[in-house]
Structure 1
Amino acid sequence: MTVEAEADAPRAPVAVNLVLDRSASMRGAPMAAAVEAALLLVERAGPKDYLGLLAFDGVPEQLAPLRIMDSEARAQLVERLSALKTGQGTALHEAVDSGAAAIRRLFVPGARPKMLVLTDGEPSVGPRALAEFRTLGATVAESGISLHALGLGRHYLPEILEALTGPSGTGFTHVDDAEGLPLATAALVAELFGEVGTYGRIFVRPTGFSELLCRHRYPARSEVDALSVGLGSLSHAFARRALFTGRLESADWSLGVTTTWMENGDTRRVTVPVQRALPDSPEGRLIRAVGVELDLVAAESASWKALLRRNPPAAEQALVTAESALRELFELGVDEVPPRRHEERLVDLRRAVERKGAELPALLVRRARAEDARTGLSIVQHLPAPSKAGR
């Protein structure tokens, strides 16, 4: 299933609280890049959008309340961003909790509240256990807030960002260094400010199957006669893709598919016609490529984790699986699932496996886990072409 917004669909207003890390490790280029990224949000916001700013080190502080983006509010937000100074400590849990509380106090009809967290550090103040962040992520999502995150550099913990964003169905983005932050933010801004529908959901009613599985990490549940899969929000230029696999118990099978979403406060429901595709048709090759990419990224992540556990044989086995999947992607040659975006990472992984994990590059481990989270959600990003100076 591929669900995407129509190009001319009107977008809804948004209410975004930006939660910005200003711990000591952000000093210098990271902070400058983070401020530049935040200013992009201010620039992109429309006259019906609401923005706020919470900065945190050892203590979170709501520097600018969520306000509609008139000229006065824009000027205040720019001023607060320009005056940001770094401090000590990283109270990530309290910052997310406080940022969500600020959003819950605001109600904007027709707009789904959102939070964008940008951090480069491991939590050092307050709760640090992964289970506590899972609980917090679930609480934020249950309150109706969509949480997005950017992890910068080599110190943040991808498991924590995945725990925070997973319940919202958004995933998180990894950026190697400050230079890559503006481009990553541009993609997130396009998603945040391109929303045309909220609470998108697919209902699949199968006959002739003994089981049906959604392979993506969207939240799913059984609903009497259907498998229901939540897609989160639908935005311009961001296709939401969900791959289903099943076990047939009869040759006579069928699928009934319905999608629903909220548009300006109204529930829209559309029955989707199901098209059967042969494996070697263009549609069939795309479906196969999506499945192969999921296998590749899962194997890559498993290999890195095996190296972290000091288990080189398991790492080698998982890497062989990932390399085989990469070869299959090249053979399929599907433009929508380009294999070259995985090639460099697998080369780095091969070097690490051959060294049996000696001097394991933490940055690459984190990047692989971030890729696992994003590809698992199958968010297809159409990034703007880089300028000549940035090539």
Structure 2
Amino acid sequence: MKQTALAVERDGEKGREVLLLVSLEADAEAPRAPVAINLVLDISASMRGAPLHAAVHAAQALVDRAGPRDYLGLMTFDAEPEQLLPVRAMDAVAKAQLLKALSKLESGEGTALFEAVERGADAVRRVLVPGARPQVLMLTDGEPSVGPSHVSDFKTLGARIVESGVSVHALGLGRHYLPGILEALTGPSGTGHRHVDGPEGLTPAMGSLAAELFGEVASEARVYVLPSGFADLRCRHQFPSRVEGDAMSASLGAVSWAYPRWVLFTGALDSAEWSLGVTASYVEGSDTRRVPVQVTRVLPDSAQGRFVRAVSAELDMAEEEGTAWLALSRRNQTSVAEVALGKADVALAKLVRLNAPEVPPHRHLARLADLRRIIERRAAHPNALVMRRAHAEVSRITLSRVGIIPPVAAQTPWKSED
């Protein structure tokens, strides 16, 4: 595992401040860990036809990627969850049975999302696979209609699942799922959810997720920072963080070949002399490692300094973008959205000027353009499809998992039956 820590001192709004960016990156030659995943698939009425067919095809591609050291299970849910196949090793017989079960799926009625995720996590937690972190991979295209439905319920569930040792990944399809629920489920895991516009995007989205899951080399990554000479210190990314004595720690989740992890801390100085002690811990195979990370002080205008400042600018932009979308979902909040969009544009312009190749600004242009068009039309509510894509991208930026789903060559119209 490669660990780096870059610190930039600069003028902040309230005096001198320091930006500390800690990165964890998997070595290319490091062996990947086996996976233990329970697939939890929505088969409600809205999935009938093209969505279910695409979900089956995407899930089958994931199964094809699994080796004999990997463990997969299958749960489906409509009004009631059902564990069709237990989580087990993917030898030739088990893979054939799972592929066959996927090919026979049919849609039903209702969406018992809460119970499905809860029971899916329980099922994978009961299987011990040495070196593998138990995970739930959930796909849904609708709002929960059976059982708990409030975001607060799912926040509690997401936190409880992570505390039990299971991580949650989520794909949201189309226009009808609630992004707040997926954020609540995946936030404690440090994964962030993905949005897919329509069925044709499921296979590339699942491929992106598979690269992450089947490239994992370390889990339970955590960064500890011990500051000296600071008035305060805060974690800018939305990782679960806490104060431990005189230090602050942030839980980053897993590190894979496909996704290095970043976590940015910001601290206000109260002394001309300052220092930062950084330690990283993670589980690699069956071993827990805890290693000190050397902090390198870099100039703001150096290449590394621009990289750190670009990560900060991107987080500023994502925060304002999220504020604007939230304002547009409420009545008489267009002026609030306009102000937030202006601040997001300023942050994006800063990102362009910094010209850091690690944080390309072009991936944000389409979303901000969508937001600008909606505000200009004085819409009372943003288009639900665009809003969900924005929520998913903001979620992944603020959890440092910025993976771009490849574009689909042709967009095929589809209509929900819910």
Question: Which category describes the TM-score, using the shorter chain as reference length?
Answer: over 0.9
1:319 and 2:341 aligned: yes
Aligned to 1:149: 170
Gaps of 5+ in 1: none
Q: Aligned to 1:328, which of 326, 340, 350?
A: 350
1:374 and 2:373 aligned: no
Residue identity opposite 2:250 in structure 1:
V
Residue identity opposite 1:327 in structure 2:
A
1:175 and 2:196 aligned: yes
Contact in 1 for aligned 2:201/2:408 (Cα 8 Å): no
Please give the root-mean-square deviation of Cα atoms over the aligned residues, in Å. Answer: 1.5
Residue identity opposite 2:397 in structure 1:
T
**CA 382–180 in structure 1, closer or farther in 2 if over 3 Å, else same:** closer
Which structure ranks higher in relative contact order (CA pairs < 8 Å, sequence separation ≥ 6)?
2
Residue identity opposite 2:353 in structure 1:
E
Percent of aligned pairs with the same amino acid: 59
Q: Which structure 2 residues correspond to residues 291-306 of structure 1 after superposition, within 5 A?
A: 291-306=312-327
1:219 and 2:243 aligned: no
Q: Counterpart of 1:133 in 2: which secondary structure?
A: helix
Q: Give a deviation string over 1:126-167, Cα, whole Å, max 9, x none.
A: 111111111111111111001110101110000001111111
Residue identity opposite 1:315 in structure 2:
A
Q: Aligned to 1:287, which of 308, 311, 314?
A: 308
Contact in 1 for aligned 2:396/2:402 (Cα 8 Å): no
Gaps of 5+ in 2: 1-21, 412-418
Aligned to 2:372: 350
Q: Give a deviation string over 1:214-239, Cα, whole Å, max 9, x none.
A: 10011111111211111101111211
CA distance in 2, matches of 1:98, 1:158: 21
CA distance in 1, matches of 2:279, 2:325: 38
Q: Aligned to 2:222, which of 201, 204, 218?
A: 201
Q: Aligned to 1:134, which of 151, 155, 162?
A: 155
**CA 353–386 in structure 1, closer or farther in 2 if over 3 Å, else same:** closer
Q: Give a deviation string over 1:157-188, Cα, whole Å, max 9, x none.
A: 00001111111111111111111111111111
Contact in 2 for aligned 1:239/1:380 (Cα 8 Å): no
Q: Counterpart of 1:148 in 2: which secondary structure?
A: strand
Q: Which structure 2 residues correspond to residues 233-272 of structure 1 after superposition, within 5 A?
A: 233-272=254-293
CA distance in 2, matches of 1:353, 1:368: 14
Residue identity opposite 1:108 in structure 2:
V
Residue identity opposite 1:269 in structure 2:
R
CA distance in 2, matches of 1:264, 1:360: 45
Give runs of ≥4 in structure 1 deviating > 3 Å. 385-390
CA distance in 1, matches of 2:398, 2:407: 26
Q: What is the Cα deviation at residue 359 of structure 1?
A: 5.9
Residue identity opposite 1:31 in structure 2:
L
CA distance in 2, matches of 1:155, 1:389: 22
Give the aligned length: 389
CA distance in 2, matches of 1:109, 1:351: 51
Q: What is the Cα deviation at residue 125 of structure 1?
A: 0.8
Aligned to 1:362: 384
Q: Counterpart of 1:47 in 2: which secondary structure?
A: coil
CA distance in 1, matches of 2:188, 2:366: 30
Residue identity opposite 1:317 in structure 2:
V
CA distance in 2, matches of 1:95, 1:142: 18
CA distance in 2, matches of 1:221, 1:214: 9
Residue identity opposite 1:20 in structure 2:
L
Residue identity opposite 1:213 in structure 2:
R
Q: What is the Cα deviation at residue 282 of structure 1?
A: 0.6
Q: Which structure 2 residues correspond to residues 54-65 of structure 1 after superposition, within 5 A?
A: 54-65=75-86
- TM-score, scaled relative to structure 1: 0.96
Aligned to 1:97: 118
Q: What is the Cα deviation at residue 116 of structure 1?
A: 0.2
**CA 14–359 in structure 1, closer or farther in 2 if over 3 Å, else same:** closer
**CA 297–382 in structure 1, closer or farther in 2 if over 3 Å, else same:** closer
CA distance in 2, matches of 1:124, 1:320: 37
1:192 and 2:213 aligned: yes
Aligned to 1:80: 101
CA distance in 2, matches of 1:169, 1:131: 18
Contact in 2 for aligned 1:4/1:237 (Cα 8 Å): no
Q: What is the Cα deviation at residue 382 of structure 1?
A: 7.0
Larger mean Cα displacement after TM superposition, 77-86 or 41-50: 41-50
1:30 and 2:30 aligned: no
Q: Counterpart of 1:11 in 2: which secondary structure?
A: coil
Q: Aligned to 1:339, which of 361, 380, 396?
A: 361
CA distance in 1, matches of 2:34, 2:129: 8
Q: What is the Cα deviation at residue 381 of structure 1?
A: 2.8
Q: Counterpart of 2:109 in 1: which secondary structure?
A: coil
Q: What is the Cα deviation at residue 360 of structure 1?
A: 2.8
CA distance in 2, matches of 1:381, 1:350: 24
**CA 268–364 in structure 1, closer or farther in 2 if over 3 Å, else same:** same
